[in-house]
Structure 1
């Protein structure tokens, strides 16, 4: 979804007759933007702006890069500059609207989306964001009008029904909201938002088993949403499944380590099962986040007393009593702790305070007050296990925390569309491998990819950094961008002095690749091969760079009909013939180094792109034969089997991929398991 949005925006017509150098820099900048190397792309757009400040394009695309770096103020300023130079670029209003939303400038965002909708009245993304702006302003009538138009345009758009359900909830119409959530699930049973939205209503209705069932589906379909596990823990807690609730809090905190509710509630449950020391750790974390959270401090005091840290307990009790001087339980527990450490006078003072407070309470409680208290108790009978997060009544220190209504309602709301962080609901294959200096760290998969030839190449110290074999590229930082631009100059000087040095050509080709200059990178790789046709890394990287060029071009072709703008020229379609050079380079790699497993894997990916699935499976087989723990090969072979209709074989491979660390495999297994039953 994210790449499609960016690509759609990349396809706005070029209305300028720029010089060749400017066009080339813009092309490189767009490549960097497409491949999510935002810092680098900004450097290139800066060059164009310095050369030709009257152009709208570099401002617009730089704003797009900034919004993906969460620089909302900068993105808005760049969109202002783009609109001043060309007020007919609809994408600029869309991006500025999103930047304004992130700064809570909803009126300005509404103006932007309305302006864009005038030109693109059937753009679902624009209507989606406009609706959410009206919801934020609590203008529910306008939100309902927006949704009516959105559903008329896209009657199968599940998010519209979820938003309409949210609007109903804002207006306390639970029945209508539930109808919309039911409809969303019926339309798209693979939407985790639909299941989690309905689950929250069931939680509010006290239908805990039904809520747990819905959240089972939500967690299967989206394993990275901490809120779903928090909510399922609540459903399990109400069914007295404390172990299951704690397991859910564990998962939620793995996903979102700073989640307040997760730590507080897990601390309470750990205390209930006697895991006092780890319970203290949870409350320590809560207090670190909220140093004035008296309930957490009091709970920690109780646990410290339980574990023998009486002086620590007294300190916590005193902190709470200073804040709440009429808190009876504070004096009672401090008296007990003081007596145990031999502080008889202190204990007696606390005990006297407890006795006085009890007498005052007994004498002040009239018959009328008793009746009022009874009514209140009956009314809240079902809620006596939980409290709202904003509840500051110290008597509720031992209750499980639930989100306030305003926070709970956010669970129903879809994200604003248009950012690269939007969830990609499409099933995608694992990417190709390459040789690079920078690898993105993974908390789940920590495989070290090794090949003796590459290790020997690193030992020669010809290259400026250690070369990694990876399919998880890391975008360059600003410092790294400057470093590799400087290296290009250095290598150029060296090549002039030693024009026959193949390794230096290869080294410069990597620098060109890292700064997204694919044309010069391919030229250097070709020269490397001409100088040494046995150097297989050059063939391997040339195949990768060419494939990236084709991927970018093909994506533009696929989206050319979706952009509401007049294109000055028809871009040539990417054909199977264009991939022949890619396959030819990988054939050379395999011929030169038959045990280089990544060449088989990459060639399989290319064949899969061309829908030659059986040939792709043959190459994945070879890759797995060389490396039985090749997670990505299992994952992609599994998807390829599914594309051929062999769901059972595909699920077996996906299961192995999940076992080896690719967590997204389990979500896909869930989707296709039902089709095999």
Structure 2
């Protein structure tokens, strides 16, 4: 018994609670953080904090994990502790500033960014967020000053022109705003934000045809932005293109089914073209969101009367009249509806009320609030504009198209606070590698079940605690799942001590180590599994995947210079472990494992696919195309293989072939393919 316990301790040294190897646990924790397994990473950071509470790094990284889980108060508290332990960490001020922004503590955030800029004065992310904080506080002069400094550091940083253009709009300087938006388009014509920003200015200037052309371009570059369709519908409406406007509202509501403006305005347009029943559906939806919206209620009443539902119409008219007792059109419409159902007395009362209001208006006899309401209504009747602001509550404007208020009429970048340098731009990248795991994210678009005969046999054997899945959409673990797999590691360790020559048991524990992001232990177990049975191809497959993830993380650590890395003054990274550079040899080792996979299981399509990904990373594009060709030959419906092969063809300059593959990938459910197609279509012509 004593020997067994000693053996367990020797096999499992890294997770001992009494005296942990904090450097190793920090590495595992940062692995989990990098691969977005935030709940798990927090568990590891807790271990390091318990062992060495004087270190600043675990508090900083735990704060970063919490901010990704939207625990902004907890993130701020962790950054406080990190700064107490080391007040010269730029990243801690940056993340605390972001946490404070999310809690609307803009003064505190500004203070954090200004402090961080003393240590790192050329950090674009800090200038970006500082500018946005000043914009949110409506301190536009300070925002312009910040953006001027940002552009002095990086003259081609297009978001700064977009932000400064918005500041000019806030100050009603449309000429300067237009200049900045045009400069942003000139610098990056593939950024949809520049086109949509200029379109908004042109709508405000009444240049609807030019605005529509700009929005066409913005939609071409980013087809999943509901706001662009809403704005193009407005431009088309002003050009009397009602069908085109309704089509845009349809598209916007496909993307954002709860969009208020889309439903309200589509309801108005449907009413104009006689599509009354579907217009009622739109106003029903609006009233579910805003039950007290009297203009939507009145419009629905008109439509109900039009379709013969007079009692429903009377109910709607009555609600409006209760809210606006001097709304003459309400009494008139209710009188007409009451006549239709034979309520002559009610109709007579409404007509008498209308007559009295007309006499009072003519004699200027109205008084008090009634006089004010009548004056307001009278003024509004002189307003010839076709639109009204969403905040406009004047019921006389019930027939007008609704546009967003100025506070809402802003671009996406106004809330695009930057938390990580690597998130600055949307990067075109290949679909990820496949893994054997127990957990998979659910996709609303793609519902493919991946299958291989041997993996199915392993599942039928009932050896594994859960069903093995083949997926490239791995799901992060919940807290309960983390505890489950730590317990499994203990259980498997006991089994291995009892039977040290079982390759499958080693593989199972390696898989558990992989799921809790302990990559080094995972590789050790997969290696041992291979040594015990060199025909067991899942061990080669998973070892290749884990090694590739280790290299990806290592490269990210090497390239991190200021974003999330806890850099000190002078940009020195505080991680004491010296990192060696990732080399071609490292990736060739990964590819060698995948060579074994396809030799042992030539029908295992995911081996070819993963090897194609590795070859792409090595810039061995011909070999990558050959592997994707084989994967598609084995599975003609393999969307990810088409997508990645399409990218490789584009890298090789074969845009036409690449776009064909991307089109097929989109057809098979890889939605991001369409964005790539739009970016490269004009280059292939």
Give the TM-score taking structure 2 as reference length: 0.90
Which deviations, in whole Å up to 9, do the C-alpha atoms of 1:620-670 show, x marking residues without a partner?
111111122211111111111111111111112112212222222222222
On the 8 A contact 1:386/1:400 being kept in 2, the answer is yes
How far does the alpha carbon of each residue in 1:376-407 deviate from its partner, in whole angstroms, 9 at most, with x for none?
A: 679843x2x21100000111112211001111
Moved more, 58-67 or 326-335: 326-335
Match of 1:566 in 2: 572
Give the aligned partner of residue 8 of structure 1.
none
1:330-369 to 2 correspondences below 5 Å = 330-364=330-364
Q: Which residue of 2 aligns with 1:457?
A: 458
Shift of 1:109: 1.0
Q: Do 1:505 and 1:527's aligned partners in 2 also have CA atoms closer than 8 Å?
A: yes
- Corresponding residue for 2:430? 429
- Within the alignment, does 1:627 sit opposite 2:635 as a pair? yes
2:422 maps to 1:416: no
1:213 alignment partner in structure 2: 213
Counterpart of 1:14?
none
Contact 2:246 2:266 in 1 (8 A): yes
Structure 2 unmatched runs, 5+: 1-17, 367-371
Q: Which structure 2 residues correspond to residues 53-64 of structure 1 after superposition, within 5 A?
A: 53-64=53-64
Distance, in Å, in 2 between the alignment partners of 1:312 and 1:420 is: 56
Q: Does structure 1 residue 469 correspond to structure 2 residue 480?
A: no
3-state SS of the aligned residue for 1:435?
A: strand
State the 1:79 CA deviation: 0.5
CA spacing shift, 1:100–1:374, aligned 2, 3 Å: closer
SS at 1:387's partner residue? strand
> Residue 153 of structure 1 corresponds to which residue in structure 2?
153
Say whether 1:590 aligns with 2:591: no
8 Å CA contact retained: 1:295, 1:397: yes
CA distance 1:147–1:104, shift in 2 (3 Å): same
1:185-234 CA-partner distances (Å, limit 9, x unpaired): 11111111111110100111111111111111112222332211211121
Q: Which residue of 1 aligns with 2:615?
A: 607
Corresponding position: 1:165 with 2:171: no
CA contact (8 A) 2:197 2:411 kept: no
C-alpha displacement of 1:570: 4.5
Give the Cα separation in 1 of the matches to 2:612 and 2:277: 52
Q: Is the 8 A contact 1:197 1:412 kept in 2?
A: no
Q: Which residue of 2 aligns with 1:534?
A: 535
Task: State the Cα deviation string for residues 461-490 of structure 1 (Å, max 9, x = none).
Answer: 222222221111112222222222222222
Check the 8 A contact 2:380/2:397 in 1, yes or no: no
Q: Matches of 2:423 and 2:172 in 1, distance apart?
A: 29
2:293 alignment partner in structure 1: 293
Change (3 A) 1:302 1:453: farther
1:24 aligned residue: 24
Secondary structure of the corresponding residue to residue 484 of structure 1: helix
The equivalent residue for 1:9 is: none
Does the aligned pair in 2 maintain the 1:60–1:92 contact within 8 Å? yes
Structure 1 residues 161 and 495, CA gap change in structure 2 (3 angstroms): same
Mark the CA change 1:52 to 1:329 in structure 2 (over 3 Å): closer, same or farther: same
What residue number does 1:47 align with? 47
Cross-structure match for 1:665? 673
CA distance 1:490–1:346, shift in 2 (3 Å): farther
- Post-superposition offset of 1:561: 8.9
**Distance of 1:291 and 1:494 partners within structure 2:** 62
CA deviation after TM superposition for structure 1 residue 115, in Å: 0.7
Partner of 2:136: 136
Does structure 1 conserve the Cα–Cα contact (< 8 Å) formed by 2:562 and 2:571?
A: no
Quick one: structure 1 residues 318 and 560, their matched pair in 2 at CA, closer, same or farther if it must change by over 3 Å?
closer
Go from structure 1 to structure 2 and tell me whether the alpha carbon gap of 1:420 and 1:70 turns closer, same or farther (over 3 Å shift).
farther
- The aligned residue for residue 640 of structure 1 is 648
Deviates more, 1:467-476 or 1:484-493: 484-493
Q: Partners in 2 of 1:46 and 1:349 — Cα distance? A: 74
2:353 and 2:438 mapped to 1: Cα distance?
68
Separation in 2, partners of 1:295, 1:555: 54
Given the alignment of the two structures, is residue 190 of structure 1 paired with residue 198 of structure 2, yes or no?
Answer: no
The farther-off stretch of 657-666 and 610-619 is: 657-666
8 A contact 1:169–1:177 mirrored in 2: yes
Partners in 1 of 2:199 and 2:215 — Cα distance? 6
- Tell whether the 8 Å contact from 1:166 to 1:412 is kept in structure 2 after alignment: no
Indicate the residue corresponding to 1:580 in structure 2: 588
Greater Cα shift, 511-520 or 275-284: 275-284
- In structure 2, the residue matched to 1:82 is 82
Matched, 1:618 2:626: yes
Residues paired across the two proteins, number? 654
Rounded Cα–Cα distance in structure 2 between residues aligned with 1:217 and 1:267: 27
Specify whether residues 407 and 467 from structure 1 end up closer, same or farther in structure 2 by C-alpha distance, changes over 3 A only: same
1:499/1:168 Cα in 2 relative to 1: closer, same or farther (>3 Å)?
Answer: same
> 2: distance between equivalents of 1:374 and 1:475?
57
**Residue 117 of structure 2 corresponds to which residue in structure 1?**
117
Q: CA deviation at 1:424?
A: 3.9
Aligned-pair Cα RMSD in Å:
2.5
TM-score by length of 1: 0.91
How far, CA to CA, are the matches of 2:635 and 2:160 in structure 1?
46
Deviates more, 1:22-31 or 1:446-455: 446-455
Q: Aligned-pair distance for 1:425?
A: 1.9
Any conservation in 2 of the 1:220–1:666 contact (CA below 8 Å)?
Answer: no
Which runs of 5 or more residues in structure 1 are unaligned? Answer: 1-17
For residues 264-295 of structure 1, what are the alpha-carbon distances to aligned partners after superposition, in whole Å with 9 as ceiling and x for unaligned? 22222233333333333322222222221111
- Once the two structures are TM-superposed, the CA of residue 676 in structure 1 deviates from its matched residue by 2.4
SS for the counterpart of 1:406 is coil
Contact kept? 1:162, 1:413, Cα under 8 Å = no
CA deviation string 1:59-117 (max 9, x = no partner): 10011111111111111111101000111111101111111111111111111111111
Change in 2 beyond 3 A, CA 1:344/1:554 = same
CA distance in 2, matches of 1:584, 1:178: 55
Q: CA deviation at 1:533?
A: 2.7
| Residues 459 and 265 (structure 1), Cα distance of their counterparts in 2 relative to 1, 3 Å cut | farther
Distance in 1 (alpha carbons) for counterparts of 2:176 and 2:540: 61
Displacement of 1:584:
1.7
SS at match of 1:417: coil
Per-residue Cα deviation, 1:289-309 (whole angstroms, up to 9, x for no partner): 222111122222233333343
What does 1:458-537 correspond to in 2, within 5 Å? Answer: 458-537=459-538
Counterpart check, 1:310 vs 2:318: no
Which of 646, 653, 657 in structure 1 is aligned with 2:661? 653
Residues 465-474 or 422-431, more deviating: 422-431
Q: Is the 8 A contact 1:195 1:218 kept in 2?
A: yes
Q: Secondary structure at the match of 1:463?
A: coil
Structure 1 residues 373, 267: closer, same or farther in 2, change over 3 A? closer
The 3-state SS of whatever aligns with 1:364 is coil
CA contact (8 A) 2:40 2:482 kept: yes
